[in-house]
Amino acid sequence: LVSVDESRLKERAAEAMTTARTRTRALTDVVDDSDLVRQHSKLMSPLVWDLAHIGSQEELWLVRDVGGRQPLRPDIDDLYDAFQHPRADRPALPLLGPAEARAYVSEVRDKAFDVLAHAALTGRDLASNGFAFGMIAQHEQQHDETMLATHQLRVGDPVLSAPEPPPRGEDPEPDEVIVPGGRFTMGTSVEPWALDNERPAHEVDVDTFVIDAFPVTCGQFAAFIDAGGYDDPHWWTPDGWAYRGEHGIRAPRFWLADGDAWWRRRFGVIERVPDDEPVMHVSWHEAHAYAKWAGKRLPTEAEWEKAARWDPDTGASRRYPWGDADPGAEHANLGQRHLRPAPVGAYPAGASPLGVHQLIGDVWEWTASSFAGYPGFVAFPYREYSEVFFGTKYAVLRGGSFGTDAVACRATFRNWDFPIRRQIFAGFRCARDIAAGER
């Protein structure tokens, strides 16, 4: 007999997979075949590669591994192995065409749902608590966000649309929050679909520090540009300064200068840069330079997570800044419900107990930390998800963006990228040490 819990878990897994597929379809059906096979930027795969790769991972983990079924297309495993072919080389591969890729992913999905119907979601294996299915739904959503970034790089008439996010909230007061020092629980050992790099839960001691109540806005960032921030090596790391020079970087990616005004291209629309929206499409280097210019610094990952999860009343860590409830539309700008970050103060219901806003959604936030395993880290289910990226080459981003689905976003969720990357929906907020007498 199937327990009630298990059937509920199966429903959740099926729901998460279906939500992801609806989004994948929307992102790949709005452009024509020539657009799907084109490489819009050397940084990205053709959309048709992401599409078939989504199916390929689902075949590997759900159909073959969990289900123990026969392979559907063992001949294409290599084509869709991200480690075999860098993104820049993918257009030259003998990829499945748009119609073949669509047929393949739906055939895999039918088989995966059959596996789900027969799977036991108990015990200690990959399917336990529906993890494998949750992991695959998250994987598809992560590629959907990557495809959304490809859409942003795509040149041509707009093809995506969405309603505007909620308006600016009350004036950001106070604009900084003191986070008291002491131990808190970082990471998780209980969240069923948390990925390997979020585990295990462990205690971390953090000194008292101050964090911005809101992400840094476009208006604030424009003031840094006006003050000559891009022209003064004092604010930049040596690597950042070299990178800025080599690429002639003068402003966030997709910004266009017009006299004193800043404009930007966003999903094919040219518009004025809105002052009160979190800045995005900045590299870690630009975030670092801004913070130094502002007399601040980027928060460490532990600081960011303490600000996001620590409840001063109980001393416990929450799943989300607002509590343990799954993200709702009132909490955070997630899931591509809108095609932009919301202005600061737009989500008062999503603030942390200490009054830190918009930690979840809107823009990914660069942190000062490089990507490393937590104490007791165990790679699961494969080293190539996280472990092979540990080291000083990658910086960690937290909190998710407007393009991140809730299934792939928790206050423990960790993303990472090279410090030079700007095509992702990344911004930042600043932190600083507490000043003497400020406590």
Residues that bind ligand AVJ (CB under 6 A): 139, 142-143, 146, 385, 415-416
CB 156 within 8 A of CB 268: yes
CB 330 within 8 A of CB 350: yes
**150 or 317, CB closer to ligand AVJ?**
150
| 53 in a known ligand binding site | yes
How far apart are CB 184 and ligand AVJ at their closest, in Å? 24
How far apart are CB 148 and ligand AVJ at their closest, in Å? 12
Which pair of structure tokens corresponds to residue 15? Answer: 């729901």
**64 or 244, CB closer to ligand AVJ?**
64
CB 160 within 8 A of CB 47: no
**413 or 428, CB closer to ligand AVJ?**
413
What is the edge-to-edge ordering of all strands in the sheet holding 391-398? 414-417, 391-398, 364-371, 426-427
**142 or 217, CB closer to ligand AVJ?**
142
Spell 216-240 as b/e; 16+ CB within 10 A means b.
bbbebbbebbeeebbeeeebbeeeb
Which are the contacts of 413, defined by CB distance < 8 A and separation ≥ 6? Answer: 194, 195, 198, 398, 399, 400
| 433 in a known ligand binding site | no
Q: Taking CB positions, which residue lies at the least distance from ligand AVJ? A: 142
End-to-end CA distance of the chain: give it in Å, rounded.
Answer: 58
State the Cα–Cα distance between residues 203 and 199, nearest whole angstrom: 12
| 398 in a known ligand binding site | no
How far apart are CB 134 and ligand AVJ at their closest, in Å? 14
| 340 in a known ligand binding site | no
How far apart are CB 415 and ligand AVJ at their closest, in Å? 5
**90 or 143, CB closer to ligand AVJ?**
143
How far apart are CB 201 and ligand AVJ at their closest, in Å? 20
How far apart are CB 233 and ligand AVJ at their closest, in Å? 30
| 87 in a known ligand binding site | yes
**26 or 388, CB closer to ligand AVJ?**
388
| 88 in a known ligand binding site | yes
Q: What is the DSSP letter of 61?
A: I
| 311 in a known ligand binding site | no
Q: Please tell me the number of Cα atoms within 13 Å of 280 on its side-chain side.
A: 26
| 118 in a known ligand binding site | no
**140 or 362, CB closer to ligand AVJ?**
140
State the Cα–Cα distance between residues 384 and 400, nearest whole angstrom: 21
How far apart are CB 195 and ligand AVJ at their closest, in Å? 8
| 8 in a known ligand binding site | no
Which are the contacts of 364, defined by CB distance < 8 A and separation ≥ 6? Answer: 397, 398, 399, 400, 401, 404, 415, 424, 425, 426, 427
* Binding residue positions for gamma-L-glutamyl-L-cysteine: 87-90, 417, 421
- Binding residue ranges: 53, 87-90, 139, 143, 417, 421
Annotated binding site for Fe cation: 53, 139, 143
